[in-house]
Protein backbone atom coordinates (compact mmCIF):
# COMPACT_ATOMS: atom_id res chain seq x y z
CA UNK A 1 0.00 0.00 0.00
CA UNK A 2 2.73 2.50 1.00
CA UNK A 3 4.77 1.54 -2.06
CA UNK A 4 1.86 2.23 -4.40
CA UNK A 5 1.15 5.54 -2.67
CA UNK A 6 4.77 6.69 -2.99
CA UNK A 7 4.81 5.56 -6.64
CA UNK A 8 1.66 7.60 -7.30
CA UNK A 9 3.17 10.69 -5.66
CA UNK A 10 6.61 10.50 -7.16
CA UNK A 11 7.31 7.29 -9.04
CA UNK A 12 10.84 5.99 -8.67
CA UNK A 13 12.00 9.04 -6.72
CA UNK A 14 9.84 8.18 -3.69
CA UNK A 15 9.86 4.38 -3.81
CA UNK A 16 13.64 4.27 -3.20
CA UNK A 17 14.02 4.22 0.62
CA UNK A 18 17.29 6.11 0.89
CA UNK A 19 16.07 8.78 -1.52
CA UNK A 20 12.92 9.22 0.57
CA UNK A 21 14.99 9.78 3.70
CA UNK A 22 17.35 12.12 1.87
CA UNK A 23 14.46 14.13 0.46
CA UNK A 24 12.76 14.36 3.87
CA UNK A 25 15.97 15.67 5.44
CA UNK A 26 16.46 18.16 2.61
CA UNK A 27 12.88 19.35 3.01
CA UNK A 28 13.50 20.20 6.66
CA UNK A 29 16.84 21.82 5.86
CA UNK A 30 15.43 24.03 3.10
CA UNK A 31 12.28 24.75 5.12
CA UNK A 32 14.34 26.05 8.01
CA UNK A 33 16.80 28.01 5.87
CA UNK A 34 14.11 29.60 3.69
CA UNK A 35 12.23 31.00 6.70
CA UNK A 36 14.67 33.89 6.65
CA UNK A 37 14.83 34.29 2.84
CA UNK A 38 12.30 37.14 2.64
CA UNK A 39 13.78 38.81 5.73
CA UNK A 40 17.57 38.79 5.30
CA UNK A 41 17.95 41.99 3.29
CA UNK A 42 15.29 43.73 5.35
CA UNK A 43 17.10 42.60 8.52
CA UNK A 44 20.34 44.05 7.17
CA UNK A 45 18.59 47.28 6.19
CA UNK A 46 17.17 47.56 9.71
CA UNK A 47 20.75 47.45 11.04
CA UNK A 48 21.99 50.20 8.76
CA UNK A 49 23.18 48.39 5.63
CA UNK A 50 23.48 50.64 2.57
CA UNK A 51 22.44 49.53 -0.96
CA UNK A 52 26.12 48.91 -1.76
CA UNK A 53 26.54 46.77 1.36
CA UNK A 54 23.43 44.80 0.45
CA UNK A 55 24.97 44.06 -2.93
CA UNK A 56 28.26 43.01 -1.30
CA UNK A 57 26.33 40.80 1.12
CA UNK A 58 24.59 38.98 -1.71
CA UNK A 59 27.86 38.68 -3.63
CA UNK A 60 29.67 37.38 -0.51
CA UNK A 61 27.30 34.42 -0.33
CA UNK A 62 27.78 33.41 -3.94
CA UNK A 63 31.49 34.19 -3.63
CA UNK A 64 31.74 31.69 -0.79
CA UNK A 65 30.14 29.10 -3.00
CA UNK A 66 32.40 30.05 -5.90
CA UNK A 67 35.76 29.65 -4.19
CA UNK A 68 34.92 26.42 -2.33
CA UNK A 69 32.64 24.50 -4.73
CA UNK A 70 35.43 22.61 -6.54
CA UNK A 71 37.31 21.73 -3.32
CA UNK A 72 34.02 20.49 -1.88
CA UNK A 73 33.44 18.44 -5.04
CA UNK A 74 36.92 16.93 -4.60
CA UNK A 75 36.02 16.04 -1.00
CA UNK A 76 32.77 14.46 -2.20
CA UNK A 77 34.73 12.24 -4.62
CA UNK A 78 37.50 11.36 -2.18
CA UNK A 79 36.05 11.66 1.32
CA UNK A 80 32.48 10.60 0.56
CA UNK A 81 29.01 11.92 -0.22
CA UNK A 82 27.53 11.56 3.26
CA UNK A 83 30.38 13.03 5.39
CA UNK A 84 30.34 16.22 3.31
CA UNK A 85 26.55 16.39 3.50
CA UNK A 86 26.57 16.01 7.30
CA UNK A 87 29.14 18.80 7.54
CA UNK A 88 26.78 21.11 5.65
CA UNK A 89 23.68 20.04 7.59
CA UNK A 90 25.32 20.87 10.91
CA UNK A 91 27.29 24.01 10.00
CA UNK A 92 24.57 25.99 8.22
CA UNK A 93 22.16 26.26 11.20
CA UNK A 94 25.07 27.26 13.46
CA UNK A 95 25.83 30.15 11.10
CA UNK A 96 22.14 31.08 10.96
CA UNK A 97 22.09 31.35 14.76
CA UNK A 98 25.07 33.73 14.69
CA UNK A 99 22.99 36.32 12.82
CA UNK A 100 21.28 37.11 16.13
CA UNK A 101 24.34 38.43 18.02
CA UNK A 102 26.32 39.47 14.90
CA UNK A 103 24.12 41.91 13.02
CA UNK A 104 26.34 44.74 11.77
CA UNK A 105 26.65 44.93 7.96
CA UNK A 106 30.33 43.86 8.07
CA UNK A 107 29.55 40.86 10.29
CA UNK A 108 26.64 39.82 8.09
CA UNK A 109 28.85 39.99 4.99
CA UNK A 110 31.26 37.53 6.66
CA UNK A 111 28.39 35.27 7.74
CA UNK A 112 26.96 35.26 4.22
CA UNK A 113 30.36 34.22 2.85
CA UNK A 114 30.60 31.34 5.35
CA UNK A 115 27.03 30.31 4.51
CA UNK A 116 28.16 30.07 0.91
CA UNK A 117 30.91 27.67 1.98
CA UNK A 118 28.37 25.35 3.62
CA UNK A 119 26.00 25.55 0.65
CA UNK A 120 28.94 24.67 -1.62
CA UNK A 121 29.00 21.29 0.14
CA UNK A 122 25.29 20.56 -0.36
CA UNK A 123 24.96 20.48 -4.12
CA UNK A 124 27.84 18.18 -5.16
CA UNK A 125 27.12 15.77 -2.30
CA UNK A 126 23.38 15.47 -2.98
CA UNK A 127 23.62 15.49 -6.77
CA UNK A 128 26.41 12.89 -6.85
CA UNK A 129 24.50 10.69 -4.41
CA UNK A 130 21.35 10.78 -6.57
CA UNK A 131 23.37 9.97 -9.70
CA UNK A 132 25.03 7.03 -7.91
CA UNK A 133 21.80 5.35 -6.79
CA UNK A 134 19.53 6.15 -9.77
CA UNK A 135 19.48 4.45 -13.20
CA UNK A 136 19.77 6.78 -16.18
CA UNK A 137 16.19 6.19 -17.36
CA UNK A 138 14.84 7.54 -14.04
CA UNK A 139 17.40 10.26 -13.42
CA UNK A 140 15.36 13.35 -14.37
CA UNK A 141 12.55 11.94 -12.28
CA UNK A 142 14.85 11.55 -9.25
CA UNK A 143 16.21 15.06 -9.65
CA UNK A 144 12.64 16.25 -10.08
CA UNK A 145 11.85 14.67 -6.71
CA UNK A 146 14.78 16.53 -5.21
CA UNK A 147 13.61 19.79 -6.81
CA UNK A 148 10.10 19.19 -5.43
CA UNK A 149 11.59 18.65 -1.98
CA UNK A 150 13.70 21.78 -2.20
CA UNK A 151 10.72 23.81 -3.35
CA UNK A 152 8.53 22.27 -0.68
CA UNK A 153 10.75 24.04 1.81
CA UNK A 154 10.61 27.18 -0.32
CA UNK A 155 6.81 27.03 -0.35
CA UNK A 156 6.32 26.97 3.40
CA UNK A 157 9.51 28.57 4.70
CA UNK A 158 9.13 32.11 3.29
CA UNK A 159 5.42 32.11 4.16
CA UNK A 160 6.18 31.23 7.78
CA UNK A 161 9.12 33.62 7.76
CA UNK A 162 6.99 36.52 6.54
CA UNK A 163 4.42 35.87 9.25
CA UNK A 164 7.05 35.40 11.97
CA UNK A 165 8.91 38.55 10.93
CA UNK A 166 5.69 40.58 10.79
CA UNK A 167 4.25 39.35 14.10
CA UNK A 168 7.23 38.44 16.30
CA UNK A 169 10.31 40.06 14.79
CA UNK A 170 13.49 38.98 13.05
CA UNK A 171 15.10 37.16 16.00
CA UNK A 172 12.20 34.72 16.36
CA UNK A 173 12.43 33.86 12.66
CA UNK A 174 16.15 33.04 12.97
CA UNK A 175 15.58 30.86 16.05
CA UNK A 176 12.86 28.84 14.29
CA UNK A 177 15.17 28.53 11.27
CA UNK A 178 17.91 26.93 13.40
CA UNK A 179 15.62 24.47 15.20
CA UNK A 180 14.05 23.13 11.99
CA UNK A 181 17.40 22.77 10.18
CA UNK A 182 18.93 20.77 13.04
CA UNK A 183 15.93 18.40 12.99
CA UNK A 184 17.08 17.14 9.57
CA UNK A 185 20.22 15.45 10.87
CA UNK A 186 18.63 12.52 12.81
CA UNK A 187 16.74 11.44 9.68
CA UNK A 188 20.01 10.50 7.96
CA UNK A 189 22.44 9.71 10.74
CA UNK A 190 23.04 5.95 10.80
CA UNK A 191 20.26 5.31 8.27
CA UNK A 192 21.56 6.51 4.89
CA UNK A 193 25.00 5.22 3.93
CA UNK A 194 27.58 5.82 1.22
CA UNK A 195 26.46 4.57 -2.24
CA UNK A 196 28.17 1.41 -3.50
CA UNK A 197 29.10 3.13 -6.75
CA UNK A 198 31.13 5.64 -4.79
CA UNK A 199 32.66 2.99 -2.52
CA UNK A 200 34.02 1.26 -5.66
CA UNK A 201 35.61 4.44 -7.07
CA UNK A 202 39.15 3.17 -6.38
CA UNK A 203 38.72 0.61 -9.16
CA UNK A 204 37.83 3.19 -11.82
CA UNK A 205 41.05 5.22 -11.88
CA UNK A 206 41.63 8.90 -11.25
CA UNK A 207 39.66 11.58 -13.07
CA UNK A 208 41.46 13.59 -15.76
CA UNK A 209 40.83 17.10 -17.03
CA UNK A 210 39.19 15.60 -20.11
CA UNK A 211 36.55 14.11 -17.81
CA UNK A 212 35.67 17.57 -16.49
CA UNK A 213 35.53 19.75 -19.62
CA UNK A 214 33.77 17.92 -22.45
CA UNK A 215 31.60 19.94 -24.85
CA UNK A 216 28.28 18.66 -23.42
CA UNK A 217 29.46 19.40 -19.89
CA UNK A 218 30.48 22.93 -20.89
CA UNK A 219 27.02 23.58 -22.33
CA UNK A 220 25.37 22.50 -19.08
CA UNK A 221 27.87 24.51 -17.01
CA UNK A 222 26.81 27.57 -19.01
CA UNK A 223 23.15 26.74 -18.43
CA UNK A 224 23.84 26.70 -14.68
CA UNK A 225 25.61 30.07 -15.08
CA UNK A 226 22.64 31.72 -16.74
CA UNK A 227 20.11 30.23 -14.32
CA UNK A 228 22.00 31.64 -11.33
CA UNK A 229 22.34 35.05 -12.99
CA UNK A 230 18.57 35.20 -13.24
CA UNK A 231 17.83 33.75 -9.81
CA UNK A 232 20.35 35.96 -8.00
CA UNK A 233 19.01 39.11 -9.63
CA UNK A 234 15.54 38.22 -8.40
CA UNK A 235 16.86 37.05 -5.04
CA UNK A 236 18.74 40.30 -4.47
CA UNK A 237 15.86 42.54 -5.57
CA UNK A 238 12.59 40.79 -4.87
CA UNK A 239 11.97 41.71 -1.22
CA UNK A 240 13.17 45.30 -1.66
CA UNK A 241 11.26 45.77 -4.93
CA UNK A 242 7.96 44.35 -3.69
CA UNK A 243 8.23 46.11 -0.31
CA UNK A 244 8.86 49.45 -2.06
CA UNK A 245 5.61 48.97 -4.00
CA UNK A 246 3.69 48.47 -0.76
CA UNK A 247 3.89 44.71 -0.33
CA UNK A 248 4.02 43.59 3.32
CA UNK A 249 6.46 41.01 4.70
CA UNK A 250 3.63 38.47 4.63
CA UNK A 251 2.84 39.28 1.01
CA UNK A 252 6.51 38.85 0.09
CA UNK A 253 6.46 35.40 1.71
CA UNK A 254 3.29 34.53 -0.24
CA UNK A 255 4.97 35.41 -3.56
CA UNK A 256 7.87 33.07 -2.75
CA UNK A 257 5.36 30.35 -1.97
CA UNK A 258 3.38 30.89 -5.16
CA UNK A 259 6.58 30.46 -7.15
CA UNK A 260 7.39 27.18 -5.38
CA UNK A 261 3.87 25.65 -5.31
CA UNK A 262 3.71 24.21 -8.86
CA UNK A 263 7.23 22.84 -8.52
CA UNK A 264 6.23 20.87 -5.44
CA UNK A 265 3.04 19.48 -6.97
CA UNK A 266 4.42 18.73 -10.43
CA UNK A 267 8.22 18.61 -9.95
CA UNK A 268 8.65 14.84 -9.95
CA UNK A 269 6.13 14.39 -12.73
CA UNK A 270 8.01 16.99 -14.77
CA UNK A 271 11.20 14.98 -14.38
CA UNK A 272 9.39 11.80 -15.41
CA UNK A 273 8.03 13.58 -18.50
CA UNK A 274 11.54 14.78 -19.39
CA UNK A 275 12.86 11.19 -19.16
CA UNK A 276 10.17 10.05 -21.61
CA UNK A 277 9.49 12.98 -23.91
CA UNK A 278 12.96 14.48 -24.39
CA UNK A 279 15.02 16.80 -22.24
CA UNK A 280 16.13 19.35 -24.84
CA UNK A 281 12.74 20.75 -25.84
CA UNK A 282 11.60 21.01 -22.22
CA UNK A 283 14.79 22.85 -21.33
CA UNK A 284 13.95 25.43 -24.00
CA UNK A 285 10.43 25.91 -22.64
CA UNK A 286 11.68 26.29 -19.08
CA UNK A 287 14.21 28.93 -20.10
CA UNK A 288 12.57 31.10 -22.76
CA UNK A 289 9.19 31.73 -21.08
CA UNK A 290 10.65 32.63 -17.65
CA UNK A 291 13.17 34.85 -19.42
CA UNK A 292 10.33 36.83 -20.99
CA UNK A 293 8.63 37.08 -17.58
CA UNK A 294 11.82 38.49 -16.00
CA UNK A 295 12.00 41.15 -18.70
CA UNK A 296 8.37 42.12 -18.02
CA UNK A 297 9.00 42.60 -14.27
CA UNK A 298 10.90 45.81 -15.00
CA UNK A 299 7.73 47.39 -16.36
CA UNK A 300 5.19 46.20 -13.76
CA UNK A 301 3.78 47.90 -10.67
CA UNK A 302 0.66 45.83 -9.98
CA UNK A 303 1.18 43.48 -7.03
CA UNK A 304 -1.56 41.06 -8.10
CA UNK A 305 -0.12 40.72 -11.61
CA UNK A 306 3.37 40.25 -10.20
CA UNK A 307 2.15 37.40 -7.97
CA UNK A 308 0.32 35.80 -10.92
CA UNK A 309 3.43 35.95 -13.10
CA UNK A 310 5.46 34.46 -10.26
CA UNK A 311 3.07 31.51 -10.22
CA UNK A 312 3.38 31.13 -14.01
CA UNK A 313 7.16 31.36 -13.77
CA UNK A 314 7.25 28.63 -11.14
CA UNK A 315 5.07 26.41 -13.34
CA UNK A 316 7.13 26.79 -16.51
CA UNK A 317 10.62 26.71 -14.99
CA UNK A 318 9.78 23.36 -13.45
CA UNK A 319 11.84 21.38 -16.00
CA UNK A 320 15.07 23.36 -15.78
CA UNK A 321 16.67 21.86 -12.68
CA UNK A 322 15.81 18.15 -13.17
CA UNK A 323 16.79 18.28 -16.85
CA UNK A 324 20.14 20.05 -16.36
CA UNK A 325 21.00 17.88 -13.34
CA UNK A 326 20.14 14.65 -15.18
CA UNK A 327 22.13 15.65 -18.27
CA UNK A 328 25.07 16.66 -16.09
CA UNK A 329 25.02 13.26 -14.37
CA UNK A 330 24.65 11.45 -17.71
CA UNK A 331 27.64 13.25 -19.22
CA UNK A 332 29.81 12.85 -16.10
CA UNK A 333 32.29 10.06 -15.46
CA UNK A 334 31.27 8.32 -12.19
CA UNK A 335 34.75 8.81 -10.74
CA UNK A 336 34.44 12.58 -11.17
CA UNK A 337 30.80 13.25 -10.30
CA UNK A 338 31.57 15.31 -7.22
CA UNK A 339 34.06 17.55 -9.04
CA UNK A 340 31.77 17.93 -12.05
CA UNK A 341 28.89 18.94 -9.78
CA UNK A 342 31.32 21.30 -8.08
CA UNK A 343 32.32 22.85 -11.41
CA UNK A 344 28.67 23.30 -12.34
CA UNK A 345 28.28 25.10 -9.04
CA UNK A 346 31.31 27.27 -9.81
CA UNK A 347 29.80 28.39 -13.11
CA UNK A 348 26.53 29.04 -11.32
CA UNK A 349 28.29 30.95 -8.57
CA UNK A 350 30.16 33.11 -11.08
CA UNK A 351 26.82 34.12 -12.52
CA UNK A 352 25.52 34.69 -9.02
CA UNK A 353 28.49 36.84 -7.93
CA UNK A 354 28.21 39.08 -10.98
CA UNK A 355 24.44 39.49 -10.81
CA UNK A 356 24.26 39.86 -7.02
CA UNK A 357 26.90 42.60 -6.98
CA UNK A 358 25.26 44.55 -9.80
CA UNK A 359 21.55 43.97 -9.21
CA UNK A 360 20.85 46.43 -6.38
CA UNK A 361 22.96 49.35 -7.72
CA UNK A 362 21.46 48.90 -11.22
CA UNK A 363 17.98 48.66 -9.73
CA UNK A 364 18.41 52.10 -8.15
CA UNK A 365 19.28 53.45 -11.61
CA UNK A 366 16.44 51.75 -13.50
CA UNK A 367 14.56 48.56 -12.56
CA UNK A 368 14.36 47.54 -16.22
CA UNK A 369 18.14 47.04 -16.44
CA UNK A 370 18.64 44.13 -13.97
CA UNK A 371 15.33 42.43 -14.74
CA UNK A 372 15.84 42.75 -18.50
CA UNK A 373 19.40 41.48 -18.26
CA UNK A 374 18.31 38.47 -16.23
CA UNK A 375 15.67 37.62 -18.82
CA UNK A 376 18.01 37.82 -21.80
CA UNK A 377 20.67 35.73 -20.08
CA UNK A 378 18.09 33.09 -19.11
CA UNK A 379 16.91 32.74 -22.71
CA UNK A 380 20.45 32.43 -24.06
CA UNK A 381 21.34 29.84 -21.41
CA UNK A 382 18.39 27.63 -22.29
CA UNK A 383 19.44 27.69 -25.96
CA UNK A 384 23.01 26.68 -25.08
CA UNK A 385 21.85 23.95 -22.72
CA UNK A 386 19.43 22.53 -25.28
CA UNK A 387 22.27 22.39 -27.82
CA UNK A 388 24.30 20.35 -25.32
CA UNK A 389 21.41 17.93 -24.81
CA UNK A 390 21.11 17.49 -28.59
CA UNK A 391 24.87 16.85 -28.83
CA UNK A 392 24.68 14.10 -26.20
CA UNK A 393 21.68 12.52 -27.92
CA UNK A 394 23.43 12.44 -31.31
CA UNK A 395 26.62 11.09 -29.75
CA UNK A 396 24.80 8.25 -28.01
CA UNK A 397 22.90 7.46 -31.19
CA UNK A 398 26.18 7.18 -33.15
CA UNK A 399 27.63 4.94 -30.43
CA UNK A 400 24.59 2.69 -30.70
CA UNK A 401 24.94 2.47 -34.47
CA UNK A 402 28.65 1.57 -34.14
CA UNK A 403 27.87 -1.14 -31.59
CA UNK A 404 25.23 -2.61 -33.93
CA UNK A 405 27.68 -2.78 -36.85
CA UNK A 406 30.25 -4.51 -34.66
CA UNK A 407 27.89 -7.31 -33.60
CA UNK A 408 28.90 -10.47 -35.55
CA UNK A 409 26.20 -11.97 -37.77
Compute the average pLDDT of residues 84-111.
91
Q: Is residue 156 part of a domain?
A: yes
Residue 398, pLDDT score:
63
Q: Which residues contact 93 (CB under 8 A, 6 or more apart)?
A: 32, 177, 178, 181, 182
Residue 396, pLDDT score:
63
Q: Is residue 244 part of a domain?
A: yes
Percent of the chain beyond pLDDT 90? 16
Residue 2, pLDDT score:
38
- Domain containing 254 equals 12-189+211-406
CATH of the domain at 91: 1.20.1250.20
pLDDT in tens, 321-351: 788 888 888 777 777 788 888 888 788 878 8
Cα–Cα distance between 335 and 205 in angstroms, integer? Answer: 7
Q: Is residue 321 part of a domain?
A: yes
Residue 127, pLDDT score:
87
Q: Is residue 352 part of a domain?
A: yes
Q: Is residue 7 part of a domain?
A: no
Residue 169, pLDDT score:
83
Q: Is residue 2 part of a domain?
A: no
For the chain, the domain total comes to: 1
Q: Is residue 196 part of a domain?
A: no
Q: How far is CA 307 from CA 179, 235, 247, 316, in A?
A: 30, 15, 11, 15
Q: Is residue 312 part of a domain?
A: yes
pLDDT in tens, 215-236: 778 888 888 888 888 888 887 7
Range in 102-116, 295-309, 310-324 with the lowest mean pLDDT: 310-324
Residue 7, pLDDT score:
46
pLDDT in tens, 26-80: 999 989 988 887 788 788 888 888 888 887 887 788 778 878 888 998 898 888 8
Confidence of residue 11 (pLDDT cuts 50, 70, 90): low
pLDDT at 363 over 70: yes
pLDDT in tens, 290-307: 999 999 998 888 888 988
Confidence of residue 120 (pLDDT cuts 50, 70, 90): confident
pLDDT in tens, 134-153: 887 788 888 888 888 887 88
pLDDT at 263 over 90: no
Amino acid sequence: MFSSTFRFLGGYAYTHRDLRLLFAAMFLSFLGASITFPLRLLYAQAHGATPTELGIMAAAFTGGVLVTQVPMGWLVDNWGRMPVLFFALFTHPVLSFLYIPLHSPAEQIVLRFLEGVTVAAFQPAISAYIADVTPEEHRSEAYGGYAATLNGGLLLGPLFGGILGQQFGFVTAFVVNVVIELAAIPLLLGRVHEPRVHEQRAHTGAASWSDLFTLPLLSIYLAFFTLQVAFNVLGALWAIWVNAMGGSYTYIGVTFSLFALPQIIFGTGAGRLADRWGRGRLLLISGIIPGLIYISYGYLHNLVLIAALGLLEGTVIIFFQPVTSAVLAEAAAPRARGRIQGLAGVFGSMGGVISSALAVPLFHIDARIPFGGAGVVMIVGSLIGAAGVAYISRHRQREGEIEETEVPV
